[in-house]
Structure 1
Amino acid sequence: MIMPRAAERLLLPANPWFIAFTLFVALLIDMVPMGRLAAMPDVLAVVLVFWGVHQPRRVGVLWAFVFGLFIDVHDGAVLGQHALAYSALSFGAIALHRRMAWFSLVGQAVQILPLFVAAHVLTLVVRMAVGGMWPGWSVLLVPFLEAALWPVACVLLLAPQRRAPDRDAHRPL
């Protein structure tokens, strides 16, 4: 029998309202006007991949497509550019969700780095195919920044699921 690692604990079920809230907050963070920075990490992509890995039955490709359309409309990009990239990201996250539990947070970040690279290449190819401008070489740094955000997203988004199911005086958390 394979025994789980000592640091692993069973998590409480994810609250659907918390999932919706985190996706909405990530959408708002992505919609904050930051000027013309090409090397800005996509927080919504990180949160979509996180929920695709941890809750694949609740947050799937359809939600990624819808949020991608919202970002396309907000940014004034080619309609479907981010929707295609987010859908591919979500599909990749769902495909990886069983194997991600066996890695540490740094190992998980390394596992999802190719997903972020592929999504940004896909977005760049669509942008360049319709005659868009080259965003600059700093765009190559973005997938690495998003992979670096992965451990932070895991700690923050799994925190509500780590609390005790029933509180009492003998357990501090």
Structure 2
Amino acid sequence: MIMPRGHQLLLPANPLFIAFSLLLALLVDMVPVGRQAWMPDVLALVLVFWNVHQPRRVGVGWAFVFGLLVDVQHGALLGQHALAYSVLSFGAIALHRRLLWFGLLGQAAQVLPLFLLAQAISVLVRLMVGGMWPGWTLVLAPVLEAALWPLASWLLLAPQRRPPDPDAHRPL
């Protein structure tokens, strides 16, 4: 595959860093600050990022497991977040080849519909079992997640951008 002009060749992603970032995002989502409808879902953002950049390592199965953990932690209907994260991961993996050809703002614009779809699925499941409508502020969460995409990309790709150790046999 030909690299887009101006893109840096990245080092391979460390599986321990991937796991650490996913667990850290899960912990951030578990912080007891009172879940509001407008708050971005950091775990969904990190899951989509790794689905796009490492689809063979972080797939739909991991999204389902993390969704179940979030369901248990939030006291939500079991499977509500698991379904939303699974659909979100499937969409991200389906788009991953095309998405990487865009800049960060173009990527953010293309993952916004995925975040909106995941939010809609979660709300529909909640409403189908008799939950209350959380209000129109819930539309802000996917917009904030898409707005955080460039920052998440910069942070999560930082370990892969470091230059390799040069030596006499490897000048790059």
Residue aligning to 2:154: 155
Deviation string 1:5-59 (CA, Å, 9 cap, x unpaired) is 1x21110000000000000000000000111421110000000000000000000
Moved over 4 A (4+): none
Match of 1:94, SS? helix
Q: Which moved more, 1:159-168 or 1:121-130?
A: 159-168
Q: Which moved more, 1:82-91 or 1:32-41?
A: 32-41
Deviation string 1:64-121 (CA, Å, 9 cap, x unpaired) is 0000000000000000000000000000000010001110100000011100000000
Q: TM-score, normalised by structure 2?
A: 0.94
Give the drift of 1:141.
1.0
Give the drift of 1:167.
4.9
Q: TM-score, normalised by structure 1?
A: 0.93
Identity %: 72
Q: Separation in 2 of the partners of 1:87 and 1:2?
A: 30
Alignment of 1:15-26 (within 5 A): 15-26=14-25
Q: Where do 5+ consecutive residues of structure 2 fail to align?
A: 168-172
Alignment of 1:21-170 (within 5 A): 21-167=20-166
The residue type equivalent to 2:39 in the other structure is M
Give the drift of 1:145.
0.4
Give the drift of 1:4.
2.7
How many residue pairs get matched? 167
Q: Where do 5+ consecutive residues of structure 1 fail to align?
A: 169-173
Query: Alignment RMSD, CA only?
Result: 1.4
